Chains A and B, each alone.
Chain A
Amino acid sequence: MSRPFLSVENLAVHFPTSDGIVRATDGLSYTLERGKTLGIVGESGSGKSVSSSAILGLHRNTSARVSGQIWFDGTELIGLSDDEMRAKRGKDVAMIFQDPLSALHPYFRVGDQISEAYLVHNRVPKRVARARTIEMLARVGIPQPERRVDDYPHQFSGGMRQRVMIAMALINDPILLIADEPTTALDVTIQAQILDLLQDLQREFDTALIMITHDLGVIAEVADDVLVMYAGRAVEYGAARELLTKPAMPYTWGLIQSIPDVTGPLDRPLRPIPGNPPSLLDPPAGCPFFARCEYSRFVPDNRCARELPELLPVAEGHLKRCHLEDDVLADYDAVLTGGN
């Protein structure tokens, strides 16, 4: 039986602290094939970055407890030794971070920082690594790469810095790329350029891409599959087209509704989701979204408060974690008006 290219099974990342265990991610499962893009959406602290960092083994076993299985290209990553994991990190799996200014070292030239990533996995002379670096800088669209290679990060604009990060991540032709909010710190016009670039490079190298974001617009543009996370758990998972057109649970509805609509009347108020996510230190017994959910009254016996819903299929390849019966949700438009 062939496994998917990337298969995350029942992943949990817990951080023991003096106040108790922070359950940053619990029971997370998803799969991803080469050349495809998985979008992970959720608000800050929902476990998007934490779960993806686990694939790179970036959690140090002194501070985090990682359990579950991560099958990547035929290898189980959890339980690999530090050296085995390090050999894959930056080579087979690479990551792009949110804020390229703080993610680049201020004291080293960008060329040295990029070629360092190449040299650590390839036994080649520095000259070769430098040539490869210049080639990558050109590939990600940095003008005059022969000159810019010796500049420092602060001499680049935000968008150019993110291109540097992308060049660094892709220099070893990784087969899985994790982009952690790669466009959040950038201007909107630059965002589109960076997304286009990522998609071009993905097609060129047949890379699997995990796009972490809280921007559903980005998801709609790039993702094949979408995973919606809330309070450390997957709450909805499915093909992007299906999930975005037929979202199946209240949190996803809230996310979609909170997008400002520029085509409608301009005085239409924004519709934020009221309240805050629950503490991951002491998660509630029932549904994590219960306290903020205006639809829980449609669920009998107060189940939302008592019982954590399972992640169950609503349609072929579309899962949701919600007690609401499907027939209550049958008319999505009615639900959008508040269920009244």
Chain B
Amino acid sequence: MIAYAIRRILVGIVLLLAMVLVVFVLFFAAGNPARDICGKYCTPEKLANITQVYGYNQPISYQFGQFVQGLAVGRDYPVDDAYRAALEKSNPDLVIHCPAPCLGYSQHSAMTVNAAVVKYAPVTISLAIYAFIIWIVFGVLFGVIAAVFKGKWLDRIIVGVTLVVYALPTFFIGTFLLQFVAIRWKLVPYPRYVSIADGGVLNWIISLTLPALTLALFYMAAYVRITRAFVLESLSEDYIRTARAKGLSERVVLFKHGLRAALTPLLSMAGLDFAALLAGAVITEAVFTYQGLGFLAVISNQNADLPVLIGLVIVAGAAVIIANIVVDILYAYVDPRVRLR
């Protein structure tokens, strides 16, 4: 088990490095990051200076090596050694140490990418957890109900509504909830993110409800359909007939024998979907102007803030890879046929 986990983590690191390489080459080799930093009133001298100070004059392979080294052991900014040494003497406050795993430094927002991620992550994590709970609880609940009442009006209503919800774009649901539920009908206060530290748990939950619901509805619709399909498949298995032949009640047949087999495969899907959300719910955060990682990605993109974008891609990739490993290990506990070797 532990050997399995270690091997999966090593493979995950290799995977992550490959991903970093691709992103790095795409962003730095294809574009001109020095020109982006230089800004509107750029002179050739200023551009040359920036290229030198940020190390963009170095070969791309060397820059990549530095970046990976920063991920592993941390690094200092500005990148150019001579310039940094001079700065150390004249103005030591401007030398920034970025500890491992250093994701880079954003000249645009004058902070390390790690600091930016830490600043924007709480909203995204809160949103992801809240949405996850809503969509798992209600998605599975309605999916099971639809499966049990297959072909009846209740099933038709649930399937019909999920189809409509699934078809609606997230920005529409978000804008609708914001415009009507919050502004027109005033059912909830206008959503503004309140951290637990600022307003306590209750206010934190209230502040997240509309965006979390927006995010959850789409996934919920998908999970209703998946759960329904899994439960129906499970209920048609031979072992369900065996359970009935034993004289078990329909309740035990459904909830013990049926759901046990139907819900297990949901585990791996749920893990990956949750991890993907940790990279930021771009549209939802943009609609509600909640300052999460998705919001950060949008503004970094507008500002051509390449270091932040690379950092976000790495965070997203790491979240998915870690979730994958966790799910695989959990799976070995819930499905006795899976043995980790």
CB distance from B31 to the nearest CB of A (A): 52
Is the CB–CB distance between B237 and A56 below 8 Å?
A: no
CB distance from A85 to the nearest CB of B (A): 9
Query: If A99-B238, A116-B248 touch, does A105 touch B243 (CB 8 Å cutoff)?
Result: yes
A116 nearest CB neighbor, chain B only: B246
Is the CB–CB distance between A117 and B241 below 8 Å?
A: no
Query: If A58-B244, A89-B244, A152-B337 touch, does A104 touch B249 (CB 8 Å cutoff)?
Result: no
**A330 within 8 A of partner (CB):** no
Q: Which of A89, A103, A104 contacts B247 (CB 8 A)?
A: A89
CB distance from B97 to the nearest CB of A (A): 52
Contacts of A56 in B (CB 8 A): 245
Query: If A152-B336, A152-B337 touch, does A103 touch B249 (CB 8 Å cutoff)?
Result: no
Q: Which of A275-305 contact B (CB under 8 A)?
A: none
Is the CB–CB distance between A107 and B260 below 8 Å?
A: yes
Q: Which of A89-136 contact B (CB under 8 A)?
A: 89-91, 94-95, 97, 99, 102-109, 116-117, 120-121
Interface 0/1 of B217-259, CB less than 8 Å to A: 0000000000000000000011101111111111010000100
Q: Which of B246, B249, B261, B335 contacts A117 (CB 8 A)?
A: B246
**B264 within 8 A of partner (CB):** yes
Complex alpha-carbon distance, A149 and B115, angstroms: 55
Query: If A107-B261, A107-B264, A154-B337 touch, does A102 touch B239 (CB 8 Å cutoff)?
Result: yes
Q: How many residues of A contact B (CB 8 A)?
A: 29
Q: Which of A88, A105, A120, A121 contacts B257 (CB 8 A)?
A: A105
Contacts of A21 in B (CB 8 A): none
**A259 within 8 A of partner (CB):** no
CB distance from A188 to the nearest CB of B (A): 23
Is the CB–CB distance between B247 and A91 below 8 Å?
A: yes
Interface of chain B: mostly helix, strand, loop or mixed: helix
B245 nearest CB neighbor, chain A only: A95
CB distance from A253 to the nearest CB of B (A): 34
A94 nearest CB neighbor, chain B only: B245
In this complex, the member of B239, B242, B336 whose beta carbon has the largest number of chain A beta carbons within 10 angstroms is B242
Q: How many residues of B contact A (CB 8 A)?
A: 22
Interface 0/1 of A131-151, CB less than 8 Å to B: 000000000000000000000
Contacts of B337 in A (CB 8 A): 106, 152, 154
A83 nearest CB neighbor, chain B only: B249
Complex alpha-carbon distance, A268 and B250, angstroms: 53
Complex alpha-carbon distance, A87 and B252, angstroms: 14
**A168 within 8 A of partner (CB):** yes
CB distance from A9 to the nearest CB of B (A): 23
Contacts of A120 in B (CB 8 A): 246-248, 252
Contacts of A152 in B (CB 8 A): 336-337
Contacts of B257 in A (CB 8 A): 105, 108
Complex alpha-carbon distance, A94 and B336, angstroms: 27
Is the CB–CB distance between A58 and B241 below 8 Å?
A: yes
Complex alpha-carbon distance, A109 and B247, angstroms: 19
Complex alpha-carbon distance, A109 and B23, angstroms: 48
Is the CB–CB distance between A103 and B261 below 8 Å?
A: no
B240 nearest CB neighbor, chain A only: A105
In this complex, the member of A94, A108, A168 whose beta carbon has the largest number of chain B beta carbons within 10 angstroms is A108
Is the CB–CB distance between B247 and A105 below 8 Å?
A: no
Interface 0/1 of B140-177, CB less than 8 Å to A: 00000000000000000000000000000000000000
CB distance from B232 to the nearest CB of A (A): 13
A117 nearest CB neighbor, chain B only: B246
Contacts of B261 in A (CB 8 A): 105-107
Is the CB–CB distance between B246 and A106 below 8 Å?
A: no
Is the CB–CB distance between A103 and B241 below 8 Å?
A: yes
CB distance from B150 to the nearest CB of A (A): 10
Contacts of A89 in B (CB 8 A): 244-247
Is the CB–CB distance between A104 and B246 below 8 Å?
A: no
Is the CB–CB distance between B247 and A117 below 8 Å?
A: yes
A118 nearest CB neighbor, chain B only: B246
Complex alpha-carbon distance, A121 and B245, angstroms: 12
B249 nearest CB neighbor, chain A only: A86
Interface 0/1 of A38-78, CB less than 8 Å to B: 00000000000000000010100000000000000000000
Contacts of B247 in A (CB 8 A): 86-91, 117, 120-121
Complex alpha-carbon distance, A91 and B264, angstroms: 31
A114 nearest CB neighbor, chain B only: B246
Is the CB–CB distance between B336 and A103 below 8 Å?
A: no
In this complex, the member of B244, B250, B261, B335 whose beta carbon has the largest number of chain A beta carbons within 10 angstroms is B244
CB distance from B237 to the nearest CB of A (A): 7
Contacts of B239 in A (CB 8 A): 102-106
What 9 A-B pairs come out closest when comparing CB atoms? Answer: A90-B247, A89-B247, A102-B238, A90-B246, A117-B246, A105-B239, A152-B336, A103-B238, A95-B245
Q: Which residues of B contact A (CB under 8 A)?
A: 237-239, 241-250, 252, 257, 260-261, 264, 334-337
Q: What are 19 of the A-B contact pairs (CB < 8 Å)?
A: A86-B248, A89-B246, A90-B246, A90-B247, A90-B248, A97-B241, A97-B245, A102-B239, A103-B242, A105-B257, A105-B261, A106-B335, A106-B337, A107-B264, A107-B334, A117-B247, A120-B248, A120-B252, A154-B337
